[in-house]
Chain A
């Protein structure tokens, strides 16, 4: 069984740029959730995708957008990067709509300068 993978591991971007983060879900899982984890904090929910449709969204602006592909992998796109976007971005996969038992990838550390 393949676990959740994320790429890249680390990323450094300049304010105003755009970034795309990628996630491959655990085999057999059809739901992907994205979280932002600031230093010293718990993860904050960005959005969830189930069968290529957005199922729910947290309190993040529209410049945070996502996609889920037919193979259930997913992308997180962030436009017009701000310094406060610097964080660890975690992807989690699960099974079913509103699947709560979520398995996380290793995360992408994004630094915005």
Chain B
């Protein structure tokens, strides 16, 4: 069975600085996807970035980038130039297998301070 672990329950960062959120996963699948979702206090889950396991190049979306280490089963999210609007819960999610479901970690609560 697949598992996703986020070891940082809470983090804080100063506005304009860089922060990295950690995620590790376990799977026996060879073909899978990894995602980072953001859930602000308004509670709507927003897709931040995705990574296909077969791609060696790390995904980037504007200020958001990932460090995907397939052998280590690690998938961290780097947020550059942090903004107050980045304050939210961040969930790492694994997608693979035939059921089509996502498996989520427990989340990291990120606070961006002015």
Q: Which of A44, A56, A106 contacts B98 (CB 8 A)?
A: A56
**B44–A48 touching, CB < 8 Å:** no
Answer whether residue B91 sits at the interface, using C-beta atoms and an 8 A cutoff.
Answer: yes
Q: Which of B97, B100, B107 contacts A31 (CB 8 A)?
A: B100
Interface residues on B, range: 20 to 34
Which B residues lie at the A interface, using CB under 8 A?
4, 33, 35, 37, 42-47, 50, 91, 93, 95-107
> 16 new A-B pairs (CB below 8 Å) besides A42-B107, A56-B98, A100-B100?
A33-B100, A42-B93, A42-B104, A45-B99, A45-B102, A48-B100, A55-B100, A56-B99, A56-B101, A90-B45, A92-B102, A100-B95, A101-B47, A101-B95, A103-B47, A106-B44
Which A residues lie at the B interface, using CB under 8 A?
31, 33, 35, 40-45, 48, 50, 55-58, 88, 90, 92, 94, 97-107
